Amino acid sequence: MSIMNKLFTAVRGAFTEAGEAAVDSQAMRILDQEMKDAKKHLDEAKENLAKVMAEQMGVEREVKRLTSSVSEHEGYAIQAMEKGDDTLALQIAEKIAEFSNDLEAQQSVLDSYNQQISTLKQTIKNTDRNIQSMEREISVVKTTESVQKASSAAAAKFSGTNSSMKSATDSLERIKNRQTKKTDQMNAALELQKSESGDELKDKMKAAGIISSSASGNDILAKLKAKQGK
């Protein structure tokens, strides 16, 4: 492969990636528009079905009229034959044939309408069900998208060297260190005060049992009893 072909392939790849990125970034907007288009087409299909059903009703009325006319004229023909008027009976029979031919044609149209309407109704029903299912899935996708955006924003806020959480943690550590240092300074001051007043030495002698601790009530009572005994 020549250099120019490689460059051309690279450029095509870059355009493809850019196009996919653009589609991904607008995926929800595209999906919403596609759903609007699907609903619009479904509404148009329902309107067209209503028109077809109206036409079917007209043909059905015509079939009923022709069927009634055939039946009515058959009765007329029978009456003419009963009266011996074969000429009139033949004329009526020719009219019956005309009605029958029209009836056959209209019945064929009606059958076609019935089949088409049945198919359209089922198609519309399936499409409506699919749209409702798709809307439920879109609702889940949108919720997931919102949660992911919130989680991503929170992660970005509480991670990294400049995040609020990192700053708060650093502040907390500084406060704790300052408090620990303050406590150490207070303890050191107390130790120094004891050393200067001799309290530290007394504490050490008391601990060693060289001098007694502060007198207790039992010690004083024992001394009083000893004085009485003398």
Q: Are residues 141 and 123 in the same domain?
A: yes
Indicate the number of domains in the chain.
Answer: 2
- Quick one: pLDDT at residue 54? 95
Q: Are residues 15 and 110 in the same domain?
A: yes
Rounded to whole angstroms, what are the CA distances from 38 to 26, 30, 44, 67, 123?
18, 12, 10, 42, 13
Domain that holds residue 173: 166-209
Helix axes 3-25, 27-82, angle to 10 degrees: 70
Lowest-pLDDT range of 17-26, 144-153, 164-173? 17-26
Instruction: Indicate whether 89 pLDDT > 70.
Output: yes
Q: Are residues 89 and 48 in the same domain?
A: yes
The model's confidence at residue 104, banded by pLDDT at 50, 70 and 90, is very high
The model's confidence at residue 220, banded by pLDDT at 50, 70 and 90, is low
The model's confidence at residue 9, banded by pLDDT at 50, 70 and 90, is low
Q: Are residues 113 and 175 in the same domain?
A: no
| C-beta separation of 101 from 69 below 8 A | no
Q: Are residues 59 and 140 in the same domain?
A: yes
Q: Are residues 151 and 173 in the same domain?
A: no
Q: Are residues 178 and 137 in the same domain?
A: no
Instruction: Indicate whether 228 pLDDT > 70.
Output: yes
Q: pTM score > 0.85 for this model?
A: no
Domain assignment of residue 224, yes or no: no
Domain assignment of residue 230, yes or no: no
Summarize pLDDT for 139-167 with one digit per residue, the tens.
888 888 888 878 776 666 665 555 565 66
> Which amino acid is located at 47 in the chain?
E
The model's confidence at residue 119, banded by pLDDT at 50, 70 and 90, is very high
Question: 99-134 b/e with 16+ CB inside 10 Å = b?
Answer: bbebbeebbebbeebeeeeeebeeeeeebeeeeeee
Domain assignment of residue 30, yes or no: yes
